[in-house]
Structure 1
Amino acid sequence: MENKKKLTLVPLVLMVFTSVFGFNNISKAFYKMGYAAIPWYILSGLTFFILYAFMMAEYGTAFRKEKGGIYSWMEKSVGGKFAFIGTFMWYSSYVIWMVSVATEIWIPLSNLVFGRDITDELSFLGLTSTQILGILAILFVILVTFIASKGLKSVSKVTSVGGTAIALLNVVLLIGAILVFALHGGKLAEPITSVRTFIDSPNPNSNSLINILSFLVFAIFAYGGIEAVGGLVDETEKPEKTFPKGMIISATIIAVGYSLGIFMCGMFLNWNDLSATKGINLANITYIIMNNLGYTIGTSLGLGQATAVSMGAFFARVVGLSMFLAYTGSYFTLIYSPIKQIIEGTPKKLWPEAISKIDDDGIPRNAMWMQCGLVCAFVMLTAFGGDGVSQFFSYIVLMTNVAMTLPYLFIAIAFIGFKKKTEIEKPFVIFKSYRSGVIAAVIVTITVFFANLFTIIDPILQDKPDFKSTLWMIVGPIFFSLVAFIMYSRYEKKIK
């Protein structure tokens, strides 16, 4: 047990990187706003992500011996019921994330193999494309659970590959954009005419207050997920030094990487030309942008049309490979870390004995396989249940839309209690005073609260108001909170 392999700095940073950084957030941001996306990414990075990462670093080092991640942090800072409601809501939304991503992961693989998305064209033995994707998703979830149940070493190996793949994709974007910039004599494809280029979007639909607020929400949520690694503090080597360093390094790389990536897109891509591309949408934007980069490098080097087209297709395939590896890496982290936190951190009597069982090597295998069964059941229902079930699942996704980020509020509010409790040993401190800790917690709370509030009301502010979506987004957090409240109240009665 004592000789168990621990997480070192680089695998930890790569684990955070795969959990948080989404390369497609860069391409989507450029498509939505052009250079005007950069200030919003910087603003949400400063008012949410950097402060939040600092909190994670303080929490993680103070509770470095605790196995329960965010539950342990909140329970020791505020109380059990508060901690369980926040953690249960957070965990439930990740289960739905697993269901969605298990089917979506085949799109980048299709782009790698075929150079385009053919997932909606699949058919075999009378099965529809949706049913085939469902079967592939179930096999994927079972395989990932099997490998992840072998322990942290298996998880960190896969997440390191995923993190490296996305890091290399950023390097390709950086070098490719600079090469095109140099070959074009230092001329930007998307010109900067004045400071207003970074304020006014070239997309006329994105300059209204509603759309700007909508984009700010998108930018804040692009930074979510760092708390998922919180449950691995106890498995980190020299956690009081390694964990805060890992949080700060990864937060800085991610915040800078997003803004730099958006700027790089403008080096080789004109926004008006991009928006005029036939069949472009938010699902395929990343492949189109990187295809464009490959094609532009080819034509800039004076290569023939056919060679330039082939280079574009090759770059799109590189994106497919990198995105597939990144999805897989984040899947490994999120199939292991959240369940580890909620099972190891919460009181054993909250759960049936079979679920709460922790094996000798510290892995909650029973819970992981039950989670696998639940995810597979959801996938099976949505793939084979027809339109009615698909519609029902889309409502569940809406329910978790807000429920996934509301726990950030719980963690930020609990940080005030954490700073107030002088009896908690704090080996690493960024917010030197109680007051500075409260200010940071309030800024994060306000930012996330208004982001969620706008997410809820956004559907009813559209030209065709969608009251149903708003209602389901409100129902979600209330439902998960009620379930968690009832579960914890039953546990309290049981121990009394």
Structure 2
Amino acid sequence: MEQKKISWKLLAFMAFSTVWGFGNVVNGFVWFNGIQVIFSWIFMFALYFVPYALMVGELGSAFKNAGGGVSSWIRETMGTKIAYYAGWTYWACHITYIASKPSGGLKALSWVIFRSAELYDRLPSIYIQLITFALLLIFCYVASRGLNPLKKMATLAGSSMFVMSLLYIVMMFAAPAINPKADYVSLDFSLKNLIPNFRLEYFTSLSILVFAVGGCEKISPYVNKVENPSKGFPKGMIALAIMVVVCAMLGTIAMGMMFDPTVINASEESFNSYAANGAYWAFQRLGQYYGIGDTLLVIYALCNMIGQFAVLIMSIDAPLRMLLDNEDTKQFIPKKLLKQNDVGAYTNGIIMVAVLSGSIILAQSFVPGAAAVLKQLTKLNSVCMPLRYLWVFAAYIALRKAGDKFHPEYRFVKNDAVALAFGAWCFLITAASCLLGMHSKDTFTMALNIITPLVLSILGIIMPLLAKNEKQANA
């Protein structure tokens, strides 16, 4: 029986809810000097996000029966050994992501309880990080029991966060009409106020935006489920890009009506505080405009807390299974890592996650202030997570170089030279953003940004060597 096809409009909405979030608006506003980020968003969407999304469509269409996503694309175009490295990168990127989730969940919980940032941010980092580390171990244990009890809750929290992101924009634009006497920031849309200052700090922060718009390869399984894929999928992706750019613009303007960038950038402490608490202050202030106190803040903080902890469990379990369940790449992994317990969880793999993510958490015990820790984790994620997007562009370049070997139903552009140029451009933008993102005025932050991906890469190279030695010893 033929499955019912989905419309390009539904595809766009599905992709939008997975790619975009309120945190992206806040990070862009805080890191790029308020409404000046509008220029950068337009650049990022037009020259990076749209071609990226359409390349994903072509890859998904070419390998519609390959269920492993990026790893499958690399296996088909570049071979099994390279596919292992792609799978390893995808898993390794989640190590920093996992390290940030307990901190994010604790921050959300502190807002639910205290309705304020001050007490949590004043606590010594060593106490916060020890609690964070304990939470990581608890969630690793939950994952090791093969339990995924929060999966539905994560979906619900994600959906509610998505709704609240849209609600924030609508309510903020309506606020001046409903409460005209409230304290708003007057916006200056003159050209000099919209063009960024292209200093070193600007280019070293671009990884924040690359991280924000990445991840649309998650929707590749739906390419061939769309009505008329060759026309429907690009329509869906263009609709997605328009929805995201509109939300980014309107969300930025809404935040600009609330917060003054000169206050955010007044000091390092102020910047750290806004980077860690900006989203909570936005909903707290919105509630005050409407005379409902902290209601919106508490709802947002609860959704965020549930989402952070639920995603933590799935991030420990799912990427590890994608790496270790793959029959094609198992040959490059030592047998000790493939050990499973009575419920099928990869126990030694989970221990490795706990050690690596735990090392990042404990290393941050010496960072002054909980807000600085969260800012540091945001930057670290923006350096590490986009590294997995490099494999998308590598697979696309390999696909177009293969000529008529593969037959995608949909092509991003017909001309191979143009297609290769787009693939190389997106690859270079991603690589440059990650490398520049490592830079920091703070020595410890810069060391963490360089050492973390380096250690994870070296581990990925060592694993096949250990597996080879193991086979030779058992021969």
Among 475, 489, 492, the residue aligned to 2:454: 475
Contact persistence 1:169–1:322 (CA under 8 A):
no
- Structure 1 stretches lacking a partner, 5+ long: 201-206, 299-310
Contact 1:49 1:223 in 2 (8 A): yes
Give the Cα separation in 2 of the matches to 1:356 and 1:379: 19
Alpha-carbon distance between aligned partners in 2 of 1:221 and 1:239, rounded to the nearest angstrom: 30
Q: Who is 2:249 aligned against?
A: 259
**Cα distance change on mapping 1:237 and 1:470 into 2, 3 Å:** closer
- Give the distance between the partners of 1:76 and 1:377, measured in 2 at CA: 33
CA positional deviation for 1:256? 3.2
- 1:269 and 1:380 map into 2 onto residues whose CA distance is 35
State the partner residue of 1:172. 167
What SS does the aligned partner of 1:284 have? Answer: helix
Give CA deviations for 1:169-189 in whole Å, capped at 9, x if unaligned: 21221122111243449x973
Distance 1:423 1:17, change over 3 A: same
Mapped to 1, the partners of 2:226 and 2:340 lie a distance apart of 24
| Pairs aligned (count) | 457
Match of 1:454 in 2: 436
Seen in structure 2, the aligned counterparts of structure 1 residues 375 and 339 have a Cα distance that, compared at 3 Å, is closer
Please say if 1:375 is aligned against 2:364.
no
Show the counterpart of 1:350. 332
CA positional deviation for 1:147: 7.2
Match of residue 432 from structure 1 = 414
Shift of 1:269: 4.0
Partner SS state of residue 417, structure 1: helix
CA distance in 2, matches of 1:65, 1:425: 12
1:249-328 alignment, distance < 5 Å: 250-272=240-262, 280-298=273-291, 311-328=292-309
**Which position in structure 1 is the counterpart of 2:209?**
219
1:273-302 Cα deviation digits (max 9, x unpaired): 66679964311122123222222344xxxx
Other-structure match for 2:344:
366
Secondary structure, in 3 states, of the residue corresponding to 1:64?
Answer: coil
Q: Which residue of 1 aligns with 2:82?
A: 82
Instruction: Give the distance between the partners of 1:220 and 1:105, measured in 2 at CA.
Output: 23
Query: Structure 2 vs 1, CA of residues 371 and 243 (structure 1 numbering), >3 Å: closer, same or farther?
Result: farther
> What CA distance in whole angstroms lies between the structure 1 residues aligned with 2:145 and 2:225?
25
Structural mapping, 1:4-83, within 5 Å = 20-32=19-31, 33-83=33-83
Q: Which runs of 5+ in 2 are unaligned?
A: none
Measured after TM superposition, the shift of residue 121 of structure 1 is: 8.2
* CA-CA distance at 1:383 after TM superposition: 7.1
Distance 1:211 1:99, change over 3 A: closer
Choose 87-96 or 324-333, whichever is displaced more. 324-333
Deviation of 1:350 after TM superposition, in Å, equals 3.0
Q: Counterpart of 2:410 in 1: which secondary structure?
A: coil
Displacement after TM superposition at 1:447 (Å): 1.0
CA distance in 2, matches of 1:235, 1:357: 35
Q: Give the 5 Å matches for 1:122-137.
A: 128-137=127-136
CA contact (8 A) 2:264 2:274 kept: no
In structure 2, what residue type is equivalent to 1:407?
R
Q: Distance in 1 between matches of 2:338 and 2:72?
A: 16
Please list the CA deviations of residues 229-281 of structure 1 after superposition, one character each: whole Å capped at 9, or x if unmatched. 65xx3999679959878766555433432232112212344444666799643
**Shift, 1:418, TM fit:** 0.8
Q: Which amino acid aligns with 1:28?
A: N
Matched, 1:404 2:385: yes
Q: Is the 8 A contact 1:7 1:236 kept in 2?
A: no
Q: Distance in 1 between matches of 2:16 and 2:138?
A: 26
RMSD of equivalent CA atoms: 4.8
SS of equivalent to 1:405: helix
Relative distance call for 1:473 and 1:339 in structure 2 (3 A) is: closer
One-letter amino acid of the counterpart of residue 189, structure 1 = V
Q: Could you state the TM-score of these two structures normalised by the residue count of structure 2?
A: 0.77
Deviations 1:372-422 (A, max 9, x none): 4433455666778996999xx999999886443233223212211112332
- Would the alpha carbon gap of residues 28 and 47 (structure 1) be closer, same or farther in structure 2, given more than 3 Å must change? same
Distance in 1 of aligned mates of 2:142 and 2:100: 16
